[in-house]
Amino acid sequence: MLPLAMGWRHLLFDNYPVEPDTVDAHLPDALDVDTFDGDAWLSVVPFTNVDVRPIGVPEGRGMPLPELNLRTYVTCDDEPGVYFFSLDAQGILGVTGARLFQHLPYYYARISLEGVDGKVRFLSRRLHPGARPAQYEATYWPSGEAFEAREDPLARFLLERYRFYTEAPDGTVRYSNVDHEPWTLYPASVDERTNTLFAADGFDTPDTEPVRYYSPGVDVTASRSKRWD
């Protein structure tokens, strides 16, 4: 697959501290849990991709791709990155391409995202054939002053990562690099009505207090998937 350009918009980062062993049991052997003050983290991230297109295609000719993912934080030979347990997305073509060429665990879902009075209402229902069902419904919004993620130790740990890892069907670890401006964040408030994403991905719902951020978004480029040697 060609390198891609896109925009990530209207993001919620709903971050839960958990025991490292909880995460480690779900990771490929080549990846190690990354921790902050002794905690591993599971993050639910609803947002929308806009204008997804191969690099070189003019702006405005890409496709939208609303998305919901469950992710954690890892290292591979001490190189930090993100690992996705699932990515639910609206577009069939985008889901198929990401599964085939990026080896990412994408699932087709019916998703709606709308902004009302400064808040984002997000609904997702997984419809992927053969997959465990997952539903998510929440309204979220910024609820404080803006700050730069790199200026806050926890936010920097969770968000200032520029690589994601995945496991190919043959068991090899692959990675892609991403590039974007540093994150601008706001504290976030969330009215969550339904979230079965943890159960769908084999986790108990965390009983810890989440740390929540909102971002209006960044423009992103992502490299081809490469094998980790």
The pTM is what?
Answer: 0.95
Beta strands in 55-134 (DSSP E): 63-76, 79-89, 106-116, 119-126
CATH code for residues 4-227: 2.40.400.10
The domain locations on the chain are: 4-227
Per-residue tokens: 105: 């665990």
Q: pLDDT by residue for the chain (229 residues), tens digit each? A: 578 899 999 999 999 999 999 999 999 999 999 999 999 999 999 999 998 888 989 888 888 889 999 999 999 999 999 999 999 998 776 666 666 666 788 899 999 999 989 999 999 999 998 899 999 999 999 999 999 999 999 999 999 999 999 988 888 899 999 999 999 999 999 999 999 999 999 999 999 999 999 999 999 999 998 998 7
Query: 37 burial class (0-12, 13-18, 19+ CB within 10 angstroms)?
Result: exposed
Per-residue tokens: 101: 């060429």
Residue 101's contacts (CB-CB under 8 Å, 6 or more residues apart) are 1, 225
